[in-house]
Amino acid sequence: MKLTKEQRFLYNRIAIIAATAGWLSFMYAGFQGFGYWYGGFIVCLWLSFGLVNLPHKSSVALLLRQPHLFFLLYAAAAATFYLGDRVGLQHFLWTYPQYDSWGFAWLYLVLYPVMGLALIELIYFVGSRLDAPFSFHSLPDSRNHRFVDAAESILFLIMMGLIVFAAAEPAPLPLLAAVTVVWIVSALVKLRLHIGHAGHFSAALLLAVVLATMLSEYPNLTAREWVYLPATALDPSLQAPLFGLPVWLWLGWFWLALVPLRLWIFLVLHPKVK
């Protein structure tokens, strides 16, 4: 039976309310010390903001309309975050004290990829509220624009190659950390060139990353589903606390936001833009 426009609107609002109640409840459980809070939290957060963002054709809309492309994006995010997590584990940056083999399957197949999708939805949501909806445009064919795009792509490939190497071997981190920071800067420059209302969108991206970090990390200080270790492999300046969390962790959340955003641009908006 085909639903009317009014029925679709009503069911969408009911689903948004239920998903919002879900992620708030799981976040509360995290603050209360529930050690497996993040899965329910991040799935409900993704659904909540994704349903709000349906008019913007973001990831939940992609799942409903082009499931094959959605699962390609999902698999790419899962593989990338798996490698990133292995780097952290190899270099003793964090650990999962309550996880066994099945727990790691849940981590890599659900938590990380859904977190990436939720970050995309947060960026869309905050951007639309700041009158800077996310839209990625082709650039005029100029030398400077081609250079920025090429440099960002090369840096991304170098960074991913270093991540693959560091995930397999306990190699020194300074080079990977330096390349990652340079890639983050190049990705932000590329976004600024390709997006209308770049100033508003920069503020939206910053706010979305800060929100994601706070919503994910502060409840976990009590729940301890994951635990950060003394980051002796990193420069001491990156270990300095900032609002109760180390500086390197805030930078890490920028990476966690920009990687799925880049995959989204390349896989979903391709071939119009890269």
Q: Does the pLDDT value for residue 272 go beyond 80?
A: no
Q: Does the pLDDT value for residue 121 go beyond 90?
A: yes
Predicted TM-score (pTM) of the model is 0.89
138-176 pLDDT, tens digit each: 666 677 778 888 899 999 999 999 999 888 776 667 788
Query: Higher-confidence residue: 171 or 40?
Result: 40
- In the chain, the percentage of residues whose pLDDT exceeds 70 is 89
Q: Does the pLDDT value for residue 232 go beyond 80?
A: no
pLDDT interval class at 266 (50, 70, 90): confident
Quick one: pLDDT at residue 230?
Answer: 82
Q: Does the pLDDT value for residue 1 go beyond 70?
A: no
Give CA angle at 192 (131, 150), nearest 5°: 150
Quick one: pLDDT at residue 157?
Answer: 93
Quick one: pLDDT at residue 273?
Answer: 47
pLDDT interval class at 17 (50, 70, 90): very high
Query: Higher-confidence residue: 121 or 243?
Result: 121
Output the CA torsion sign for 162, 163, 167, 171: positive
Query: Higher-confidence residue: 174 or 13?
Result: 13
pLDDT interval class at 210 (50, 70, 90): very high
Mean pLDDT (the chain, rounded): 86
pLDDT interval class at 233 (50, 70, 90): low
Contact by Cβ (8 Å): 187, 264: no
Contact by Cβ (8 Å): 217, 38: no
The amino acid present at 67, given as its one-letter code, is: P
Mean pLDDT, rounded, for 23-39: 95
59-118 pLDDT, tens digit each: 998 998 999 999 999 999 999 999 999 998 888 889 999 888 888 999 999 999 999 999
CB atoms within 10 A of CB 131: 10
Quick one: pLDDT at residue 274?
Answer: 46
Q: Please give the C-alpha separations between residue 252 and each of 204, 213, 246, in angstroms, as whole numbers.
A: 18, 9, 10
| Beta pairing class for 94-95 and 227-228 | antiparallel
Q: For the chain, first and last CA: distance in Å?
A: 39
Q: Does the pLDDT value for residue 48 go beyond 70?
A: yes
